[in-house]
Structure 1
Amino acid sequence: MKFIIATNNAKKLKELERILKPLGIDAVSAKEAGVNLGEVEETGTTFAENAFIKANAAFKATGMPAIADDSGLSVDALDGRPGVYSARYCGENATDEEKYTKLLEEMQGVPDEKRTAHFTSAICCILSDKEKIEVDGICNGTISHTPNGNGGFGYDPIFDCNGKSFAELTAEEKDKISHRGIALRKLQAELKNRFDK
């Protein structure tokens, strides 16, 4: 079964493909589906609202079942920032390194016990005009003082969970504990429920 994934982030697409494959879902990008979704304006104030906006745009453009994820990092010492603005926190075309470097600069002088943070992933899956599934996942951790590891993407090198940064984990290790892994397992259960009937 083919689902269109509403993202322009190649690394996120790869992660979603890997987690959805065991479900028998063939995750395809808009480009692979032969459509141009353009830049969908994320006007929501929550991860769930933005996930719906993106999934709905992809569903309307293709008529295919669509999945979108909106995710980000919320840092307690920064009053929840960058939150829904995680991708645009350092300007539109900032690199991952520029984003996490800015965040580390803002966290200078914050003691270890106050460096708590969490990643959130909100996923919206639109199956038809009348049927949508919304799930989320949260992974708690802390912000390190320096980036560690070469894997992952986004803020992974500075987000520590169980003694390692997300960027130090293998893809399989990350999927087991990450916010997106948690949300996608919930989605997997919901889809199984619907398709097994």
Structure 2
Amino acid sequence: MLSYVTTNPGKVREAREYLSAVESVDFDYTEIQADALGPIAARGAREAYEYVGGPVLVDDAGLFVEALDGFPGPYSAYVEHTVGVERVGRLARDAVDPETPARAHFRCVLAYCDGGTFEATPEPVDHGDRRGHDLAAAERATAETDDSVVGGDLPVKLFEGSVPGRIVEPRGEGGFGYDPVFEHDGTTLAEMSTEEKNAVSHRGRALARFAEWYRGREE
């Protein structure tokens, strides 16, 4: 059984569209401060594996606005609660010419750990020692933690999903977080049904990549 560390039932339902056997686990892992999603999710996966004692999946996600140099990025949840979604939307739109779209991406990184090692594949592997390996330089340079404390150098496999869009005036009553100000193909995520949103979801795209790889892992 694969344990998905989340208390969000919507994430579990989405994961079950791609994975046959997955259960949710409520575990409050440490969210380190980093300028990229990968190290945050990787540290969480190591802690979760130590807690669960079996295969685990942890995700971290954020909104990356091009005109704001990727802000709020990994700090999206904190910024949502302190600055507010509408204000972030205004900052993004004010940062570009009125005729220029305020381009942005939603990104999600899934981190998988089962205590084992991984064969070489295109997906990055976080080995926890920050000396290179397969992590992109931008990710490996930003983690501010001592991985020898929890999880040691347990390898963690990373899978990323991204959906492009632009920041607009808030529209729609559905979704959550930045969904009302993020438009994809002419529709904000808050205007989409759950099925429509899942079909283009950054998390869904990461889950699809992970599920394809994980089927081979189980064989």
TM-score normalised according to structure 1 size:
0.82
What is the deviation of 1:153? 1.5
CA shift digits 1:33-57 (9 cap, x unpaired): xxxx335132333111111111111
Counterparts of 1:157 and 1:122 in 2: how far apart (Å)? 22
What is the deviation of 1:112? 4.5
SS of equivalent residue, structure 2 residue 158: strand
1:41 aligns with 2:31: yes
* Number of the residue aligned with 2:109: 122
1:26 aligns with 2:18: no
Unaligned 5+ residue runs, structure 2? 119-155
Counterparts of 1:186 and 1:108 in 2: how far apart (Å)? 32
Contact preservation (8 Å) 2:189, 2:197: yes
Counterparts of 2:192 and 2:114 in 1: how far apart (Å)? 33
How many pairs are equivalent? 179
Amino acid at match of 1:161: H
SS of equivalent residue, structure 1 residue 113: coil
CA shift digits 1:141-196 (9 cap, x unpaired): 0001x21112222111100001100111111111111211110000110111222x
Contact preservation (8 Å) 1:74, 1:117: yes
TM-score normalised according to structure 2 size:
0.74
Unaligned 5+ residue runs, structure 1? 31-36
* Number of the residue aligned with 1:141: 165
Amino acid at match of 2:167: I
User: Cα 1:156–1:18, aligned 2, differ >3 Å: closer, same or farther?
Assistant: same
Contact preservation (8 Å) 2:35, 2:74: yes
Matches within 5 A, 1:145-156: 146-156=169-179
Amino acid at match of 2:92: M
CA shift digits 1:16-36 (9 cap, x unpaired): 311222421222122xxxxxx
**Could you tell me the percent identity over the aligned residues?**
31
SS of equivalent residue, structure 1 residue 68: strand
SS of equivalent residue, structure 1 residue 157: helix
Counterparts of 2:77 and 2:206 in 1: how far apart (Å)? 19
User: Cα 1:189–1:108, aligned 2, differ >3 Å: closer, same or farther?
Assistant: closer
Amino acid at match of 1:46: A
Amino acid at match of 1:17: V
* Number of the residue aligned with 1:5: 4
Amino acid at match of 1:115: A
What is the deviation of 1:76? 1.1
SS of equivalent residue, structure 2 residue 172: coil
**Residue among 7, 12, 17 paired with 2:12:** 17
What is the deviation of 1:5? 2.5
Amino acid at match of 1:116: R
Larger proportion of helix: 1
Q: Give the alignment's Cα RMSD to 1 decimal.
A: 2.0
Contact preservation (8 Å) 2:29, 2:47: no
What is the deviation of 1:129? 4.2
Counterparts of 2:93 and 2:182 in 1: how far apart (Å)? 15
